Structure 1
């Protein structure tokens, strides 16, 4: 009886271990049009300072990061900086930073 129980427990643990992700999730395409003061690499010191202040850890992911971004809500290019499409949750990051920024033309 105990041998059957140990087999069931071992099988459950193996299944659980296989289901735990071992790498960072893929970056999804950005969804928000933003006007950023500048776009820098996430490994730059400027981006690192803002990311650290906001408690954002990108790990080893190396992506373009927009600094001092605001949403573009009106059609046309009135952006005085770099027009991008980014992932930029306004509530969490307060416009200080946006990640996964791709330059666009409106």
Structure 2
């Protein structure tokens, strides 16, 4: 009797686990960048780079960094805008980084 109950309970738990959707948000990797400038993705300059690279942001307006390079040394003197970006520079060869938020501290 006990073994039948444990099989039923295990079956119910497995079924529930399979039925629950995976809703854990996936956070994109971030990296600190030194960008030449940070502009809205709807700007002409960002639009030119985005279209040249075949990137479609689906009509969303996010800050993008142009001419970015990674900051790899603590205390690095960035001659541009120090930012933290969602998409690392390696994906687009330093031309553009997505969702760049300036670091002020």
Residue matched to 1:105: 104
Residue matched to 1:35: 34
Instruction: State how far apart, in whole Å, the 1-side matches of 2:71 and 2:95 are.
Output: 15
Alignment of 1:11-90 (within 5 A): 28=27, 31-90=30-89
Structure 2 residues without counterparts, runs of 5 or longer: 1-20
Runs of 4+ in 1 over 3 A off after TM superposition: 26-30
Instruction: State how far apart, in whole Å, the 1-side matches of 2:82 and 2:29 are.
Output: 13
On the 8 A contact 1:30/1:85 being kept in 2, the answer is: no
Name the Cα RMSD after superposition.
Answer: 2.2
Residue 62 (structure 1) shift: 0.5
Residue matched to 1:7: none
Structure 1 residues without counterparts, runs of 5 or longer: 1-18, 20-25
Output the TM-score relative to the length of structure 2. 0.69
What is the aligned length?
A: 82
On the 8 A contact 1:69/1:96 being kept in 2, the answer is: yes
Output the TM-score relative to the length of structure 1. 0.69
